[in-house]
Structure 1
Amino acid sequence: MAQINWTKQALGDLEAIGDYIARDSPAIAQVFVNRIINSIVQLETFPLSGRIVPESGRESIREIIFRNYRIVYSLENDTIYILTIFHASKSLTNLTDDIN
C-alpha cells in the first residue's frame, strides 16, 4: 500500500477550491472537498490508476480526474506526492516547468 504525502501547493489548491465553493454553500464545499480527498485516498491501493500527465510525458507524473478537476501526483517507489489540484480549464504550464 502506497503512502500519500501532500505538497503545500496541493493543500493550498484544495483550500482554495473549498473557499470558492463555500461562497455559495459551505455545506456543499465540505462535501466536495471530502470527495476530492476520498478520490485521492484510493491511490493508496491503486497508485497506477491515474493516467500519465500528457504535458509531462513522464511515467512517474500521473493524474486522476475528479469532476472538472485534475489531481496531479508523482509516484516514487511506494510514496505518492499530491502535487496540485486545478480546474481542467486551466493550464498546467507552471507545474510542468517545476517537474521537468
Structure 2
Amino acid sequence: MLQIAREDMVEIYLYIAADSPKAALDLAEKVAGKIDTLADFPLIGKIVPDTELAKQEYRMLMIDGYIAFYKVVGDKVVVYRVLNAARNYPDL
C-alpha cells in the first residue's frame, strides 16, 4: 500500500470518528480486511471504467461506499488510493 493510500485511510477514519468512533473503527477494520483479501484473490476487483486508468491496468474494489484502487504488479498487489466512491477519482 502506498503512503498516500495510508493517508486516505487515516482521513476517512478521522472524518467518520468525529461522529462515531465505533463506526470509524468498524469501517477501518472492514477496509483493511478486504484489502488483505487482495493478496489471495488479486483479480476480485473489477477493471476501472475510466479508459485511461484501465489502460494502466488499475482495478477497483468497492468497500461500503469507498473504493480501493490498485494494480496487480507481478505477484504483488499495490494499493494506490482509497477514496469515497462519490469523488471524481479520474481527476485525482
Task: Answer whether TM exceeds 0.5 for this pair.
Answer: yes
Gap runs ≥5 in structure 1: 1-5, 96-100
Pair 1:15 & 2:10 matched: yes
Cα deviation per residue 1:50-71 (whole Å; 9 max; x = unaligned)? 1011111237310100011111
TM-score (normalised: structure 2): 0.91
Gap runs ≥5 in structure 2: none
| Structure with bigger RCO (C-alpha 8 Å, 6+ apart) | 1
Cα deviation per residue 1:66-94 (whole Å; 9 max; x = unaligned)? 01111100111111111001111111123
1:31, 1:67 → 2: CA distance? 11
- Given candidates 11, 22, 26, the residue that maps to 1:27 is 22
How many residues are matched?
Answer: 90
- Partner residue, 1:98: none
TM-score (normalised: structure 1): 0.84
Pair 1:92 & 2:89 matched: yes
CA RMSD, Structure 1 to Structure 2 (Å): 1.2
